[in-house]
Structures are given as structure tokens and as C-alpha cells.
Amino acid sequence: MRRTLIGQSLLVLLLLAMLSATGEKAAYAQTDPVGSFFRSLFGAPKPAPPPPQLIAPAAKPKPAEPVEPKVVELPKNPDAQTILVIGDEQASDLAVGLQVAFADTPSIQVIDKSRDNSGLVRDQGADWPTRLSGLLAERKVDFIVVMNGENDRITFPVALTNGKSEDVRSPKWEELYTAKVRKLEDALKASGKPFFWVGLPPMERPSLSAFASYLNGIYKPLTEQAGGVSVDSWNGFVDEDGHFNYQGPDVDGQMKRLRAYDGFHFTRAGQRKLAFYVETEIRKIMRGETSRPEASTPEIVSAQPKAQAAMLAAPPPLPPAPWDRVGPVMPLEAGSNGDSELAGAPPPRATAAMKPTESQGKLPGGYPLTETPVYARIMLGEPIPAQSGRVDDFTWER
């Protein structure tokens, strides 16, 4: 009896499921009778796969800058000489290169006081003449290294240009910028310490390289006038054609990547090479090979000496006279007398201008100046006499 009830229950459930499916199919057939007919013959079609999605190619990632190792320096002596580095971001790269250069020298330490985004036009980040005075008061400094200019490609404040915005590199802009550089040069000179102004290297962008070259033309003469050392680093970072180059020989002559991917900063090898130019000058002064340059005044063009005085002051003595003779000539025909004159050459003609006079000066060795062919040609304007019969005789026969 119990089995009969279970069977009946299952039968009822099966019937209800069939009726439900039949009802759904009937309702769908009323809305789509044709499709229902074919589906009844061939079965329901498989749903179409979704269309493939177009995936944009991933952007090529910019190569990451290599992680440079930390500079390991030997402990410095308490009385070690100090190299103070000031300037902008490139001065920071220079300071790292100097730390590597003197890492094994306990008697020299490098202090980096550069500031990013600093400059001379708007005193971004630091008023360097004022800040330098404070740094010198805080510590003992033996050498000062300056590298600046990357952030100065901007206009001066309106207050300095009488309300008019002066274009970069305009005459007014150059006048104001020169005054800023001279102010810092005066502060460096007042320190009484040897100082070095490092010129800007080329950049990847041609416009930035042109501006860097323009600033170097301002820094160099002002630094030399103030008694500093102008350090040129340009040729160390260009190729054979003088163009910006990411790679180049390092201080050991090995080909290395010297510049960062931004075409502006330096790799560790580039930092070391940049510092090499300053290191060389500092070591020269420390060894006493070159004394500290004295401040100079703008060059005054002096009167040029007269040609005769220039000849008398010439250090190398001239060969024995006469100069229009040649060395021994081997005879090519039998019966030649072996004279040292060229074949077919007449004897040299004496001119009044070549006769010696006691009133004129003498060349080293006691030979009269007026006996020289140079004097006759240059001072008196006499033509070179043509030797008849020689291939250089272009005179017409009459």
C-alpha cells in the first residue's frame, strides 16, 4: 500500500512537469509559429557565441631607470678638506659623482647643498648669494663647486622689467641675468676659497641644448674675471658630430650609458664622468701644479707691434743666408761642376732693399733684417723676381 502511494505521487509530479513544459512551448509557438515548427523538426539552435571584444594593445612601458648602487665612502678624517656643491638638480648629480671620485680619499669630503628647482632668474628654492653666505658660516669649506642654469629658461619678474615681460635671451633679459650671475660670482670671490663653475652639458631637446650653450657663454667670462675656474663638460656628452648622445666612454674608456632616459639627468657612469672634469682641476690645485687663478679685468685690446718689431722678437732663428739658395744637387750629366744652384738659374739679383744698413735691426745670429727676402717682399712690397728658364717663369718674351 505504501509503495502504491509513493508511485502515485511520483506520477503526479511527472505529469505536472510535462504540463508546465507543454504550456511554455504552446505560448512560444503562438508568438513564433514558423520557428516553432522548425524547432520541432530539427531541435532548438545553439545560442551564438558573443562577439569577440577588441582589446587595445597595451602601451609599451617606458624602461625603468636602473637602480644605482649606494655610494660607499671611507670614513673621513676630522680635518678633511670639504668640497661644497651648490646649484640645481644637475648639481646634485655632480655631487654624487664627486662623492664617488673621492670615496677612497679620507682627506676629502663632499657636501651636497644643491636644491631642485632652484635658479637665478626667480631665485626658485634658494637665493644663492645669500644662502652661500649662510653655508660658509655653518662649516669650514675649502672648495666651492657651482652648477646652475637648467631652470632659468623663464622670464624675469615684472618688477624687474618695469612691467614689461622680456623674452628669454632678449637684450634686457641677458642684462638682468648677467647681473644675477655677477652677484653670485662676487659672493664666491668674497669667500676667499677656490671656486669652480661647471658649464651645462647638452640636452636631448635641441632647444634646451641651444639655451645651455648660450648660458655657458655668459658663465665662462664672468667666472674667469672673478678669479674662478670655468669647467667645460660639453664635449664629454656628445657624439663624433657634436650632437647629444645617451652613451659614450666613461672615465675608464668603456662604452656606457651616461644619460638618463629623460635626456637630462645622468646615470652613475655619467655622474662620475661629469665629476671627472672638476676632480681634475681640484687635484691640480691640491698638488700645487696650478695656482689659484687671480681675478682679471676685461681684456683691453692693445696696439699691435709693428711688423719689424714682431720679426725682431721672433724666437726661432732663421737659417743662414741666403735663403734663395738650395742644398747640394747631385749632377745628372757628366761634366757638371756640381754647383748647388738649380740648373739654368741665373745668379741671384741684389736689390737696394736687401742691402744691410747699420741703422736697422738685426735678426738672431747677427744677420741684418733688411737682408731677408721677407723684408723685401712684405715691408717694401717688391715682387718676387722670376728666374728665367724655370717652370715658374711666366713672363712673356718681347
- Segment 37-56, tens digit of pLDDT: 556 666 666 667 777 666 66
Q: pTM score, two decimals?
A: 0.60
Alpha-carbon span 113 to 92, nearest angstrom = 8
Alpha-carbon span 270 to 259, nearest angstrom = 6
Confidence of residue 166 (pLDDT cuts 50, 70, 90): confident
User: What pLDDT does residue 345 have?
Assistant: 47
In this predicted structure, the answer to whether residue 174 has a pLDDT above a threshold of 80 is yes
95 and 115 Cβ atoms separated by less than 8 Å: no
User: What are residue 14's phi and psi, to 5 degrees?
Assistant: -65, -40
Share of the chain above pLDDT 90, in %: 46
In this predicted structure, the answer to whether residue 184 has a pLDDT above a threshold of 60 is yes
User: What pLDDT does residue 110 have?
Assistant: 97
User: What are residue 87's phi and psi, to 5 degrees?
Assistant: 140, -150
In this predicted structure, the answer to whether residue 112 has a pLDDT above a threshold of 70 is yes
Segment 221-236 mean pLDDT: 95
User: What pLDDT does residue 44 have?
Assistant: 62
User: What pLDDT does residue 243 have?
Assistant: 92
User: What are residue 61's phi and psi, to 5 degrees?
Assistant: -65, 145
Alpha-carbon span 139 to 84, nearest angstrom = 10
Listed by start position, the domains of the chain span 81-287, 303-316+353-385
**Tens-place pLDDT, residues 281-337:** 999 999 888 755 565 554 544 555 555 555 555 555 555 555 444 445 555 554 444
**Tens-place pLDDT, residues 14-26:** 666 665 555 555 5
User: What pLDDT does residue 364 have?
Assistant: 59
144 and 86 Cβ atoms separated by less than 8 Å: yes
User: What pLDDT does residue 138 have?
Assistant: 93
Strand pairing class (255-257; 247-249): antiparallel
User: What pLDDT does residue 260 have?
Assistant: 93
Mean residue pLDDT of the chain comes to 77
266 and 234 Cβ atoms separated by less than 8 Å: no
81-287 CATH: 3.40.50.1110
